[in-house]
A and B are shown apart, each in its own frame.
Chain A
Amino acid sequence: DAKTTQPPSMDCAEGRAANLPCNHSTISGNEYVYWYRQIHSQGPQYIIHGLKNNETNEMASLIITEDRKSSTLILPHATLRDTAVYYCIVRPPWVDSSYKLIFGSGTRLLVRP
């Protein structure tokens, strides 16, 4: 599985966009990029995923560079409730029984009032 590198911590002001980077320079052509977040001590929550194209849903946008070696998760209008640890994960598509999701250390995002 490709390894990801994220900054250990970031902060942004409430109402502003939060841009969380992720480096995955060894990603393979068929590996997806996933983002999850963990608020306080709750179970992780799925945010978004993508392969090549940029993706947007009601929670966030995912921008993947053309060479796919890095990506950015964008929270367009961060709120205090977005304070959490954000995990960037890469994984291959479903391959029978070899599928598993490996979490790294993530980025701790603090949204300031």
Chain B
Amino acid sequence: NAGVTQTPKFRVLKTGQSMTLLCAQDMNHEYMYWYRQDPGMGLRLIHYSVGEGTTAKGEVPDGYNVSRLKKQNFLLGLESAAPSQTSVYFCASSYGGGASGELFFGEGSRLTVL
């Protein structure tokens, strides 16, 4: 049982390049999320999904796109990377429904945009 797995863990991009971060969870969770964390700051929600085929915007969605084609996967795309997108990206998932809102997080993906 791997939990939440993020790939890649590290990536360096040049301004204008595109890339996709992959998040996979093996807990059959309905809800998945992408957060970013800048140095010394808390996490900010980028996009989230409440089920296969659905996505919604979070606090800071600009410059990112997401897709949830399969229940277990949530992809975060950067079409044209900018230095302001240098950050650590965390994926999370949760069961959904009821009072328990426990989120399970991945180990993070460190992205540097030059």
Contact = CB atoms under 8 A, between A and B. Distances in A.
Interface string A28-59: 00001010100001111110010100000000
Interface in B54-86: 54, 56, 58-59
B105 A44 contact: yes
Contacts of A46: 102-104
B50 A41 contact: no
B44 A103 contact: yes
B33 A100 contact: yes
Range of interface residues on B (Cβ < 8 Å): 20 to 34
Interface residues of A, number: 25
B41 A91 contact: no
B101 A44 contact: no
Contact of A102 (B4, B31, B45, B96): B45
A23 B107 CA distance: 29
A41 B54 CA distance: 29
Contact of A44 (B31, B54, B96, B103): B103
Given A43-B90, A94-B96, A101 B44 contact: no
A101 B50 contact: no
B21 interface: no
A91 B48 CA distance: 16
A51 B99 contact: yes
B33 A44 contact: no
